[in-house]
Structure 1
Amino acid sequence: MADGRSSQGADSDRSEREERSVPADEYDFEEFGPEDMARMSADEWDAAFDPDSWITGNELIDRVEADLRSRIANRDVFAVLERFADPPRILAYSDEGYAIVYPDGSVEGEGTVVRDVKPTVALCSMDDYEVPTPPEDWSLPDPEQVPEGSGDLGNQMLQVIAFGLLLAGIAAFVGLFVGDVGGSAVIVLVIAILFVLASVFLFLVVANARLSDRFRAVEYQDRLRAAGVQSADRPDFVPVDDGEIEPIGEGENASE
């Protein structure tokens, strides 16, 4: 009987280990994101994230801060990041929402920022996750430093081609009057018109691209200003009162 109970206990332990290994087979935790969190069941969550092995406290805050800095630097997350000592927490906010991360791993907030921050907290809670080292210049840019045009090589090359086609079209038109084209006048005229039309089309493409770049730049600048990047003022919907907190300066942490 004892052997039977031992066998059943071993089978139960084996089944439990197998169940707890299912999420690792179904989810890529290196690319773990909001969609994965949405489709993960409660049992899978418990199996994937053993509460006894979660990282919490100031270590979690340190890891979340570093990971969010890296994501902001890569423009994967659009947010202004602040850290406070009393009580310890991370605040991330933009023009569309905010998220507050506490040492126990809980997150509160609203908008798109919460959607971006929750996967970061889940990953940073796992000991196996290696937090990337953020660059020194990780924060969102000042609105005035955002260029209004890309000025890329592609647009310049299109302009050169368009100008060359325009010159060729004009030369073909001139040849109709000063040259002896004979019976091929119609062909030369058609070619001249095609060259001019092609050059006009390419000039319009370049103009549209530059105009689109300018509109995107202006929209980005407006978002940065709305998020308080330039003025350092938080949006009104962020529930943080400077009189009730002790901010930690950039580059510092709670243990210093």
Structure 2
Amino acid sequence: MADSDSGTQGAGEDAPEESREELRREVDEKYDFEDFGPEDMAEMSLEEWEAAFDPDTWITGRKLLDRVEADLKHRVAIRDVFAVIERTSHEGEPLLVAYSDEGYAVVYPDGSVEGRGTVLRDVKPTVALASMEEYDVPEMPEGEQLPHPDEVPEGSGELGNKLMQAIAAIHVVAGFGMMIAWFLVYFGIVSVSESIRDGAPLLALVGGGFFVFGFFVLLIVANARLSDRFRSEEYRNRLRSAGVGSEYRPDFLREDEEERDN
């Protein structure tokens, strides 16, 4: 009877391990770990994560913070993430913080993350990836990743806008000129041959087409310039809200700094 119970217990212990191996195979088929990114990490469930990666091999400590900092600053530089990235400490423990006008995230040396908002959503996958030895972290970018609000240009593609304006102006002028020529010919202000007079309506039609096309292009350019200015102003406001170029400090950082000063 005892042998029967022992056999049953052994089978029960093997079942979870077999289930784990089966889940690991499914994860290997579902995800491409040669090109594994934050989007894949966000899609992964906790069970899939635990099945795919060995916790004993995860990177922690200052090395993890260094890797997360480099990865986040790279993503900020390429405008994939909007946040201010800083290194700080609390009660002697090194921390990495990321904050913006839409939340914050605090990364601890053990890999745990706390915070709120979209910044927390962006930081969590980065921490998970940076904790894996297999993940190649990009090099730390130099300088400030976010521009000063006053350095943000009004818009981009100024040369393209001017070129489009020139093309539109040429069409408007040409169209207007053709319609004037038709008016002069049609009402006999200018003497021309009968054949030219018969072709005058076609001149007016082509001129009208040129004029409408040129005016339409001018409207597109004007709308593009207004959109660029709006986006630039919106970006400046976000930078100012995040404290870029000012002495602004988020509440969670200011309280901690005041405690250290005291």
Which range, TM-score by smaller chain? 0.7 to 0.9
CA deviations over 1:76-111 (Å, ceiling 9, x no partner): 110001101432110000001000000000000000
The aligned residue for residue 44 of structure 2 is 40
**Maintained 8 Å contact 1:72/1:138:** no
**Maintained 8 Å contact 2:20/2:51:** no
2:260 is equivalent to residue 217 of structure 1: no
Q: Which amino acid counterpart does residue 145 of structure 1 have in structure 2?
A: E
CA pair 179-233 structure 1, distance change in 2 beyond 3 A:
farther
Out of 59, 64, 82, the position equivalent to 1:60 is 64
Give, in angstroms, the shift of residue 155 of structure 1: 1.9
Structure label with greater radius of gyration: 2
Out of 187, 199, 209, the position equivalent to 2:214 is 199
Give, in angstroms, the shift of residue 19 of structure 1: 3.6
Q: Which moved more, 1:87-96 or 1:171-180?
A: 171-180
Out of 115, 135, 138, the position equivalent to 2:141 is 135
CA deviations over 1:197-252 (Å, ceiling 9, x no partner): 21111111101000000000000000000000010312446675322359xxxxxx
**Maintained 8 Å contact 1:55/1:124:** yes
The aligned residue for residue 85 of structure 2 is 81
Gaps of 5+ in 2: 1-10, 185-189
The aligned residue for residue 95 of structure 1 is 101
Provide the C-alpha distance between the structure 2 equivalents of 1:115 and 1:218, rounded to a whole number of angstroms.
Answer: 25
% identical aligned pairs: 52
Q: Which moved more, 1:223-232 or 1:18-27?
A: 18-27
Provide the C-alpha distance between the structure 1 equivalents of 2:120 and 2:191, rounded to a whole number of angstroms.
Answer: 71
User: SS at the partner of 2:199?
Assistant: helix
Give, in angstroms, the shift of residue 56 of structure 1: 0.5
Give, in angstroms, the shift of residue 149 of structure 1: 1.7
Provide the C-alpha distance between the structure 1 equivalents of 2:39 and 2:253, rounded to a whole number of angstroms.
Answer: 22
- Choose between structure 1 and 2: higher helix proportion: 2
The aligned residue for residue 76 of structure 2 is 72
Provide the C-alpha distance between the structure 2 equivalents of 1:211 and 1:153, rounded to a whole number of angstroms.
Answer: 16
The aligned residue for residue 105 of structure 1 is 111
TM-score (norm 1): 0.83
Give, in angstroms, the shift of residue 129 of structure 1: 0.4
Provide the C-alpha distance between the structure 2 equivalents of 1:138 and 1:31, rounded to a whole number of angstroms.
Answer: 27
**Maintained 8 Å contact 2:75/2:81:** yes
2:201 is equivalent to residue 171 of structure 1: no
Provide the C-alpha distance between the structure 2 equivalents of 1:25 and 1:244, rounded to a whole number of angstroms.
Answer: 50
Provide the C-alpha distance between the structure 2 equivalents of 1:186 and 1:93, rounded to a whole number of angstroms.
Answer: 66
**Maintained 8 Å contact 2:98/2:106:** yes
Q: Greater RCO between the two (CA within 8 Å, min separation 6)?
A: 1
**Maintained 8 Å contact 1:34/1:116:** no
**Maintained 8 Å contact 1:54/1:125:** yes
CA pair 101-12 structure 1, distance change in 2 beyond 3 A:
closer
2:246 is equivalent to residue 241 of structure 1: no
**Maintained 8 Å contact 1:95/1:235:** no
Q: Which amino acid counterpart does residue 73 of structure 2 have in structure 1?
A: R
Aligned residue pairs total 241
User: SS at the partner of 2:47?
Assistant: helix
Give, in angstroms, the shift of residue 163 of structure 1: 1.4
